[in-house]
Amino acid sequence: MDALLPPPKQIDIIPIATYLANLKTQKTSWIGGRITVLPQDRSYTQTGCADCLKPLEADLTWIVQCPTCKKECEVQLILRVAVQIDDGTSAIKTMLTSPIIEKFLTMTSTQIRNAEEVGENIQAIADRELNGQTIVAFARAYETTYQRQPETRIFLINGHRTKGESSHTQLIIDSKKRKAIETTCLQKTTQTETDMKTPTKKQKSEVTTKTT
Ligand SMILES: [Zn+2]
């Protein structure tokens, strides 16, 4: 996965406000920001195909014929934690899952499942392990329906941990500049109505000028 999507160049990362404003025309983009763990009702662990990582109801010792990738494969633990990613312009809610989440954890997925099985507070563990870390991630939006209402969900196809001091944290934009970006996004949204083929590069460079 990493070989297909190496860490992006700074120019490829767009402000989350821009990403959200342009979702109708651009479903995917690199975004980045600070992680906050959200409250979660569902289990933090599940089992999945070791090859394609699609969830499977199976025991970890089984070898299964995966209905998704059709391969005969082992079963592995998959972690999933509901998070918010905020870059100062806006925030998205998404799931941080295996294999991306492991890059951010000091605990292994097995340790987390064992802790969950003995009734430890996984929310507290997830807070401690993940809160405040910064990520750059390749996001993809899907239209779906939830309780008969149209809903947009955002999934992370890939993600990389960034250090606080790295240049990526420049994308954590301070609130003074936030308004300027929001204004730019509004203009962009209006433009996309009339000009669907506006190159994304142009949008990026304009936003970059405002944020530097
Ligand atoms: Zn599979």
Structural domain count, the chain: 1
Instruction: Give residue-wise pLDDT tens across range 132-169.
Output: 999 999 999 999 888 899 899 999 999 999 875 444 44
Give a yes or no: residue 14 inside a domain. Answer: yes
Q: Is residue 130 part of a domain?
A: yes
The Å distance, Cα 52 to ligand 1 centre, comes to 4
Compute, in angstroms, the gap from residue 78 CA to the centroid of ligand 1. 13
- The answer for residues whose C-beta is within 8 angstroms of residue 172's C-beta and 6 or more apart is 33, 34, 87, 88, 134
Residue type, 83: V
For the chain, which ranges sit under pLDDT 50? Answer: 1-3, 165-169, 171, 173-176, 188-212
Q: Ligand 1: distance of its center to the CA of 121 in Å?
A: 30
Tell whether 4 is covered by a domain.
Answer: no
**CATH number, residue 181:** 2.40.50.140
Establish if 38 belongs to a structural domain.
yes
Ligand 1 midpoint to CA 80 (Å): 17
**Residue 132 domain flag:** yes
In a domain, 26, yes or no: yes
Residue 64 Cα to ligand 1 middle (Å): 9
Domain around 200: 10-211
